[in-house]
Amino acid sequence: MKPMTSKEVTKKVFNKEPFFILDVRNESDFNDWKIEGENFEYLNIPYFDLLDGVEEILDKVPTDKEVLVVCAKEGSSVMVAEMLEEAGREVSYLQGGMKAWSEHLEPVKVGDLKDGGAMYQFVRIGKGCLSYAVVSNGEAALIDATRMTDVYLDFAKELGVEIKHVFDTHLHADHISGGRKIAEATGAAYWLPPKDADEVVFNYQSLEDGNEVTIGETKIAINALYSPGHTIGSTSFVVDEKYLLSGDILFIDSIGRPDLAGKAEDWVADLRESLYTRYKQLSDELLVLPAHFMIIDELNEDGSVSEKLGTLFAKNHGLNIEDEAEFRKLVTENLPPQPNAYQEIRETNMGKITPDDEKQREMEIGPNRCAVR
């Protein structure tokens, strides 16, 4: 019996490996949120049903592929893995449980910039969050960084670059931003759309349409699309005339939900205007890099999440609804449950409350729910 790290499991997701997961959490937790992989098989048996032994499930646990036992925090999976090992099975358990899975970030290089710099995407595989580093000539900018700030600081240190600017495309409601903390640690400027910042209690740089920020020799053009990804301040960036960072306005397989501030009906027209008019004016060749992905099928072969804007206009259902009434219905009635603790997360990102690390973990547990279904 050995521990398997979230990084090792992520590689199996990226490589589409056959893999068997025995998840010993409660059925409702498993159905709400699990480790997803294209060639993964699952068995969900709550830990309490296995206290008397694992004999009854042995015929359901394969011997011809790797088996991983998963629970919320690790402890229960260790015990079940030990019982399986005593029964003669070779299994692993997920180190740190689903808590660790929720927090793992995997950096993937998306592509090069004209000046020799590079664009990197950090895939938060267990939560569906995507964040970015623009690296150019010894400098870096971060976009939509999560609260696992050490990952970004270590990444910059490893590349030998200085973080100069940190951006949030909008005031996040599904995860806690690490932007302000990184800015404080590095002396970088922290940028936030002012329309999302009415209630924030800290200083920030105002992220507005027409701003242009230079990192090394790379230009980041700010397109403040006042529309609901979740918010009225949602902002897009065009980097190096090549990449479109769409925040939570546009995803690969869907579009942003406009209800997390209780303003769905008010903001539908703004959302349509941004997607159907302003985005239409941009080059079809821009590579769209969203702030979230919804399903594992959206991952490319290398594990990154991206698609050309022209392809999305051809294939993304949310961009192809001619009838305005039908569009309004889609984005106001077709919504998944709201993210766990989203009001507390918004207040944390405003600086109004400062939960401890353990509380922050609890607030974020569960799937990402940023898109219209």
Residues catalogued as catalytic: 71
Q: How far apart are CA 255 and CA 372, in angstroms?
A: 6
Helix (H, G, I), strand (E, B) or coil at 357: helix
Judging by DSSP bridges, how do beta strands 92-94 and 2-4 pair with one another?
parallel
Q: Determine the Cα–Cα distance for residues 235 and 196; give it in Å rounded to an integer.
A: 10
Q: How many CB atoms lie within 10 A of CB 314?
A: 11
Partners of 120 in the β-ladder: 109, 133
Closest CA to 353 of 200, 232, 149: 200
Interacting residues of 70 by C-beta distance below 8 A, sequence separation 6+:
21, 22, 23, 24, 25, 34, 35, 77, 93, 94, 97, 98, 101
Closest CA to 190 of 177, 199, 174: 177
Left (φ > 0), alpha (ψ -120 to 50) or beta: where does 343 sit? Answer: alpha
User: Amino acid identity, residue 178?
Assistant: G
Burial class (CB in 10 A: 0-12, 13-18, 19+), 327: buried
> Strands 92-94 and 67-70, how do they pair?
parallel
Nearest residue to 371 via CA among 344, 339, 328:
339
Distance CA 220, CA 237 (A): 6
Q: Is 157 exposed, middle or buried (0-12, 13-18, 19+ CB in 10 A)?
A: exposed
